Amino acid sequence: MTTAKARHAFALRLAAGIAGYCAFINLYSPQSILPLLSEEFGASAAGISTIITVSTLAVALTAPFTGTVADVLGRTRVIVDHLLARGAGPRASSNLRGDGGVYRG
């Protein structure tokens, strides 16, 4: 294997690893604050851990369908539509008045 081919193969493996890491960092990053959330909201450890369970389950259930839709419609269109839809929640919540009953401080 030539040096250029070896560097290209390494770059592909590195990119795949980083993509995998980035895909799941949003699922597992809240784990470090679960005890704080449990204390703040007065929930049990089992109850507050449903944050991780539900998000992981959602990915597991929707991934096969998303892959099929991406094959039919094209990956670029699915990714762009997803990014636009993902911004809808934060945009809607920015218009809320008051705390919406979430914070108990």
pLDDT at 13: 92
| Residue 25 is assigned to a structural domain of this protein | yes
pLDDT at 10: 92
Q: What is the distance between the alpha carbons of residues 61 and 33, in angstroms, rounded to a whole number?
A: 25
Domain range for residue 3?
A: 1-48
Verify that 59 and 85 share a domain, yes or no: yes
Helix axes 50-73, 3-28, angle to 10 degrees: 130
Verify that 66 and 24 share a domain, yes or no: no
| Residue 104 is assigned to a structural domain of this protein | no
Based on C-alpha coordinates, what's the Rg of the chain?
Answer: 19
Q: What is the distance between the alpha carbons of residues 52 and 34, in angstroms, rounded to a whole number?
A: 9
pLDDT at 105: 47
Verify that 8 and 35 share a domain, yes or no: yes
Helix (H) or strand (E) holding 26: helix 3-28
pLDDT at 1: 56
One digit per residue, the tens of pLDDT, for the chain of length 105 reads: 579 889 999 999 998 888 878 777 877 778 888 888 888 888 888 888 887 888 888 888 888 888 888 899 998 888 888 878 877 777 776 666 665 555 544
